[in-house]
Structure 1
Amino acid sequence: MASADQISYGDLKALIEKDKGLVLVDVRTKDEVDKGRIPGSIHIPVSDVEIDFSLDQDAFQNKFGVAKPPLDAPNLVFHCQMGRRGQAATEKARSLGFQSARNYAGGYKEWSEKESK
């Protein structure tokens, strides 16, 4: 069962299709991202989450090409390959004040399996 800080494949798929305000953050390594990624995601390695989410608006925009989400952003989602690093990133973001940050626990592994069907 999903908790308040988790999001399912179905929920994420619906958000990608409907919500232009979604900020989807891939926290895997560059090598992993180079092998495939969820469309629309931005890459911030889990080790950089605290640094990058502490940037000011302009610096974040310049680095990632998207607006830095506000602290109350309802659709800030992190993911990794299988869930563990995504959960760590979600907890880091929450500690910075992003109270609605969520982890896509299925990760890229589940996404790529479901998307290839």
Structure 2
Amino acid sequence: MANAVTKEISHEDLKAIMGKSLVLVDVRTKAEVDKGQWIKDGYKLPSTVESAFAMEPEEFKTKYGITKPTQDTKELIFHCQMGRRGAVATSKAHQLGYVNACNYAGGFKEWSEKEGN
């Protein structure tokens, strides 16, 4: 599923785990998100991954409306519009100890092309 070196996930693998215990983090800009298009099951997190994931669990839940992922969350996937910011976010998550974090390299652009969003 995820490449051990780059920690990436493909469209097919992401689609296969949708609706399961997935934490899908959208790190696109506010302007991109404001267009009203999302990948189902995802939640918006600002590009400040370090500060968000450094928050205490209660503060994280209050601010983002979901339980803060644990460092060993199995399916912690970041995505952006085309893949680059998602890769940066994934790298930051790894630095914070989120060992299973990976990037959906195709990003929302690929998702919308393949899923018709």
**Please, which moves more after superposition, 77-86 or 33-42?**
33-42
In the alignment, structure 1 residue 8 sits paired with structure 2 residue 10: yes
**Aligned equivalents of 1:38, 1:84: Cα separation in 2:** 17
**Aligned equivalents of 1:56, 1:22: Cα separation in 2:** 21
**Aligned equivalents of 2:56, 2:16: Cα separation in 1:** 29
Structure 1 gap segments, 5+ residues each: none
Give the letter aligned to residue 87 of structure 2. Q
State the shift of 1:45 in Å: 2.3
Q: What's 1:38 paired with?
A: 39
**Aligned equivalents of 1:15, 1:53: Cα separation in 2:** 23
Within-5 A mapping of 1:1-117: 3-4=3-4, 5-17=7-19, 19=20, 21-35=21-35, 36-46=37-47, 48-116=48-116
TM-score by length of 2: 0.91
Give the letter aligned to residue 44 of structure 1. L
**Aligned equivalents of 2:41, 2:9: Cα separation in 1:** 17
In the alignment of these two chains, the number of paired residues is 113
TM-score by length of 1: 0.91
Structure 2 gap segments, 5+ residues each: none
SS at match of 1:99: coil
**Aligned equivalents of 2:50, 2:45: Cα separation in 1:** 10
When the two chains are superposed, the root-mean-square deviation of aligned CA atoms in Å is: 1.3
More helix by share: 1
Q: Deviation string for 1:33-57 (max 9, x for gaps)? A: 12211112111122x1000000111
Q: Which runs of 4+ in 1 moved over 2 A?
A: none
**Aligned equivalents of 1:116, 1:42: Cα separation in 2:** 19
